[in-house]
Amino acid sequence: MSSLSSRLTAPARWKPWEIALWLAIWAMPLAVPQHAALINDIAITALFALSLDIVLGYAGIVSLGHAAFFGLGAYGAALFAKLVMPDPLAGLAVATALGAVLGLLTSPMIVRGTDLTRLMVTMGVALVLYELANKFDSVTGGADGLQGVVMGPLLGAFEFDLGGRVASFYSLTVLFIVFVVMRRVVHSPFGISLQALRDNRLRLSSIGMSVQGRLAVAYTLGAALAGTAGGLLAQTTGFASLDVLDFHRSADIMLALVIGGAGWLWGGLAGAIAFKVMHDLISAVTAQYWTFWIGLFLVVLMLVGRDRLFRPWRWFGAGKGASK
């Protein structure tokens, strides 16, 4: 019994490389302060990718409208700061709650049907919110965006600077807290049951577990985290526009998760870093055709395989195995 317990808890233990990697991530705003704004953007994208990973990688719910929760969180945090109070933590809590509520309300439409049905429903929800935000421009600012969002100091002491150093540490802190919590969740019995549900839904239902209930919880959890990411974007940039609800936002975060790998929490972080760095570097060389090179990279990734692309020494091992 003890050996079984130790095998189940082994994946939940922090590995040395994870600790070292997080220390390196925390050191980045200090090592390259001139890129603090990019680091902040990467942290927000990583949190957004992590939220989609809970929905897609662990629960197996295909979504092309995840920007609905991201955009709602962004507008919620921006309006809260502008109309109620500028405290960042209170606004972030509001953004998270709004994402969770929308996820809970739309979850009955998600837990039933096929993957194609889920694709259409999630995309439809995002399009409806986009049009509502465009229609009620007196509240959202419409195509001009919601301007005049001024955030108060973080914890009453740290003012958001133009260089983005406070914003980057703020976003990295939220990302780290969420990562730690989600790490506990995915290694809990609930997280293990989600992975079992993703792999074989009929088998899980046959042993008496609620499939729809678990899907609804996972979808609501992912929606809440997406709302958190959207709130962070609005708070650290002081701006929210229709872009946060656009389809390309959902597509980009799907690409980031594909690059990093779905079904493990580090995949969202790795994919966000790779996607944003490639975007920044390629667009600096060719701003008009950067999507071509991203697309080419994805084609190579799918043809070669992630493991062999990022570990080229495995090509030789694969060749030896095949020769035998």
Picking from 250, 222, 228, the residue whose alpha carbon sits closest to that of residue 125 is 250
Structural domain contains residue 19:
no
Structural domain contains residue 214:
yes
Q: Which of 4-13, 24-33, 218-227, 253-262 has the lowest mean pLDDT?
A: 4-13
pTM for the whole structure: 0.86
Structural domain contains residue 74:
yes
Structural domain contains residue 252:
no
Structural domain contains residue 85:
yes
- pLDDT class for 208, splitting at 50, 70, 90? low
φ, ψ for residue 146 (rounded to 5)? -90, 110
Q: Which amino acid is residue 169, in one-letter code?
A: F
Q: Which amino acid is residue 313, in one-letter code?
A: W
Which residue range is the domain that position 139 belongs to?
A: 33-246
Q: Is the pLDDT of residue 30 over 50?
A: yes
- As a whole-number percent, the residues of the chain with pLDDT over 90 amount to 23
Q: Is the pLDDT of residue 67 over 60?
A: yes
Structural domain contains residue 237:
yes
Q: What is the pLDDT of residues 37-57, one digit of tens each?
A: 889 999 999 999 999 999 888
- As a whole-number percent, the residues of the chain with pLDDT over 70 amount to 86
Contact 92, 248 (CB under 8 A): no
How many domains does the chain fold into?
A: 1
Structural domain contains residue 264:
no
Structure-model confidence comparison of residues 155 and 230, the more confident one: 230
> What's the rounded mean pLDDT across residues 271-281?
84
